Structure formats: C-alpha cells, structure tokens
Amino acid sequence: MPAAIVLGTQWGDEGKGKAVDYLADGMDLVVRYQGGNNAGHTIIAEGRLLKLHLVPSGILYPHITSVIADGVVIDPAVLLAEMDELTQAGLDVSRLLISGNCHLIMPYHLALEKVTERFLGKNALGTTKRGIGPAYADRAARIGIRVQDVFDEKIFREKLDVALREKNAVLAKVYHRLPLDADKIVSEYMAMAERLWPHVADTSKLLHEALEEGRNVMLEGAQGTMLDLDHGTYPFVTSSTPVAGYALASSGIGPQRVERVIGITKAYVTRVGAGPFPTELADHDGDRIGERGQEFGTTTGRKRRCGWFDAVVLRYAARLNGLSEIFLTKLDVLSGFERVRMCVGYRADGQDWDDVPPHQSLFHRAEPVWEDLPGWSDEISDAHTFDDLPAPARAYVRRVEELAGVPVSVVSVGPAREQSLPVPA
C-alpha cells in the first residue's frame, strides 16, 4: 500500500495521537509533516502514558522508522528533551530521522513571540508561545536557519549574525528588551547539533525509496484543518499548513502516492486560543464536556473551549482534504446527555449557510442551526465492537457519516489502543 495521510478536521486536539498510534501498527514509516512543538499528543500504550510534541507517534513501535519532514520547525532543546524522555521510558529513538531542511526555532523567536503577543493586546491570537509563528515567518522571509546550517559553524555564524542584526534591533529598540548574545547561541546550538547529527537524513529520498519498495508510509499532520494558514480562521490560525496537500509538499513525495486520507474528528469540538467557534457552549453542557473529555492542552495546560459537533466544519474539512474516511474520537465523552446536538448549518445576517461562509466576518457572526438526537445513558468505554454500542450512539455515528458524506472507519471510546472499534460499512 502507498501513503496514507492522517490529519485533524477541526481546530486541533481531535485525539490524533491516539488515532495515529492505532493506525501506525500496519505502517513501516510514520512522518510528521508540519508544525512544531506547539502540538502535543497524549498516548496511552501498554499502560504507559506518554506525551509527544515533535517525535512522530510511530516511535512506540519497534518496526517503524519515524521521520520529521522538511515542513516541521524544530526547537532542538525540546526535541532532545523528548528523545531523552522516550529513552528513559525504554524506547529506542535511534530510528528517528530528521530532514536537514527543517527550520530551527531560535531563542529570538521565543523572545519575540512573547512580546509581540503582549503588544497585540485584545487582538492577541492566544498562541502557544513556542516561537512557531516567528520561525515560519523567517523561513518565508529567507532569513531562517535550517538544521543543516548548524553543522557548518562558519555558515551558522554568518546566518545567525544576519538574523540577529535585525532581531536584536527590534527587541531592544521596539520592545526595550535585552539583545541576545550570538556566541552563547552558537555554543548552545553547536552542542545540540552534535547530538542531532546521527539522526539527520535525506528524508525525501528515503521516503521515495520506501514507497518504491511497496512499504507503508503514514504522513501525520498536527493542529487541524481550521487552524490552516490559508483555509482556517485567519488570523486565528497557526503559521503552517495542516491540510492534506501539504503532507506531500513537506515530505517531498508526489500526489499519486496517496491512497487514503483519514480525517481525525472528535465527537464534539474544542478550540484553544482566540477566534470564531460557532458551536461553542458557555453553559453547563460545555463544562461537562470539558471535564469528561479532560480538555486541557497537552502543550500549554490551557483549558480548551468546548462545543457540540459541527457538521459544517467537517464537510469543509472533507472537501479541502479529500477525506476517504473518518476516525471518530472521544464518543464516550458524550455518554450521559439526555440529548446530543449537532450543528447542521449556520445562519448569519438572515442568510442560511450549509458551508463555511466565504467571508470571515460572517463566520464570526454565524449561529448554529441545530439538530437534536437522543442521547445514551450507559458508559460505552468498555464496548468491544461497534455493535456493543447503544442504538443512539450508533445512530450518532451514522448521522456523522451522512452529514459528512464520508464513511467513519473507526470509533474511539477511550484513550487506550484497544478502545478503538472498527465500524462496519
């Protein structure tokens, strides 16, 4: 089988870690294709709880090669700490490969993001403050520093001097912060580079060869479709491109390789940070979903905003990504509600919309058109098959399929690998 793309269809935190971990079993290589350590996956495998930010979830399987592709931005200190943690947990990280083309998050990216977010005041985006936006901005401005640059001290210094000339001026003159010291950065980054060197590879070539040999490759996105720089709720988005098309651009492989596009979709919706969210609940139901779903950020610990399922968003994601199937997560969180709601359309400025409105202002004002479905009182986390689920829970899944126009292939009813139920066609 050729490549499969796995990505989030909402505003991130759809439970991708768990889904990717489940799907990775049949894969030979797992590739992370965008974002950085703004992402966070919590995985429970064989009774162990692991938190991953940069390393692809495939690392949990001894037969899988894990790859960080070109379009990911890397904070080397975070990556090394994560690798150490995985090693301590008894996992072999020697199979982790990193593209030399990945851009590095530098200390000035972190320093600048802290002050610029504050400077935006009430217009702040609510970023994860991991330096992601500034690192991608430098990449586009062509003053970024790549992983490969750190292996040549002369080049590294030259590039750092160019960047620091501007960054230090902005930090000192605009934000009244202390300038950063080039020597200190060089010695810190060179030391980290030494540890990263054995992992750096020509990952595009490696993927090409693996696909030619008929090996199974999974391309794993971070964040979600609605946080996409182009197609999300700009400017309340991340600075990279989670949609499926970018999996190929980042990994350096061609579109004809892709056979499956799997959309990870939570049975309700959450969002962290600012920006429009039509189905958001500011009531007891929202609190209850947040508590039952443990909706706190893996990376930042922030409380997530919660709301009912939004079929308009899922249809939009199905279209943008060309989804072939849906992996529906956290259905167990909805147990115990007398009735569950789905948003099947929007109303904005007296007009009905069955798609995401093309103008952001309309999206900000969009009111959900609700469809109510009967709830189920039983806990469902110990179900072994789809048919074990109570009829209203099965009907909920079938309605998601109908509204999205895409089949649900797996339903997840708990955090463990075993709590994933294949859905009959």
Residue in 102, 105, 207, 272 binding ligand IMP, rule: CB under 6 A = 272
Q: Nearest CA to 253 among 318, 321, 206, 214?
A: 206
* Residue number, 130 or 341, with CB nearest to ligand IMP: 130
* Structural contact between residues 40 and 51, judged by C-beta atoms closer than 8 angstroms: yes
CB 107 to ligand IMP: min, Å:
16
CB 279 to ligand IMP: min, Å:
16
Residue in 2, 100, 126, 407 binding ligand IMP, rule: CB under 6 A = 126
CB 129 to ligand IMP: min, Å:
7
Q: Give the CB-nearest residue to ligand IMP.
A: 273
* Residue number, 110 or 192, with CB nearest to ligand IMP: 110
- Binding-residue pattern over the window 76 to 115 for ligand IMP, x denoting contact by CB under 6 A: ----------------------------------------
Q: Does 128 bind ligand IMP (CB under 6 A)?
A: yes
Residue in 66, 239, 279, 329 binding ligand IMP, rule: CB under 6 A = 239
Q: Does 13 bind ligand IMP (CB under 6 A)?
A: yes
Tokens 């610990």, located at residue: 301
CB 12 to ligand IMP: min, Å:
3
Q: Does 3 bind ligand IMP (CB under 6 A)?
A: no
* Structural contact between residues 29 and 204, judged by C-beta atoms closer than 8 angstroms: no
* Residue number, 140 or 172, with CB nearest to ligand IMP: 140
CB 36 to ligand IMP: min, Å:
8
Of 129-137, 154-162, 388-396, 411-419, the segment contacting ligand IMP by CB under 6 A is: 129-137
List residues with catalytic annotation: 13, 41
- Binding-residue pattern over the window 385 to 414 for ligand IMP, x denoting contact by CB under 6 A: ------------------------------
Q: Does 39 bind ligand IMP (CB under 6 A)?
A: yes
Of 32-40, 70-78, 186-194, 323-331, the segment contacting ligand IMP by CB under 6 A is: 32-40
Q: Could you say which residues in the range 327-346 bind ligand IMP, by CB under 6 A? A: none
Residue in 227, 253, 393, 411 binding ligand IMP, rule: CB under 6 A = 227
User: What does the buried/exposed string (b/e) look like for 94-113 if buried means 16 or more CB atoms within 10 Å of the residue's CB?
Assistant: ebbbbbbbbbbbbbbbbbbb
- Binding-residue pattern over the window 131 to 170 for ligand IMP, x denoting contact by CB under 6 A: -xx-------------------------------------
CB 222 to ligand IMP: min, Å:
6
Q: Does 17 bind ligand IMP (CB under 6 A)?
A: no
Chain contacts with ligand IMP (rule: CB under 6 A): 11-13, 38-40, 125-128, 130, 132-133, 222-223, 227, 236, 238-239, 272-273
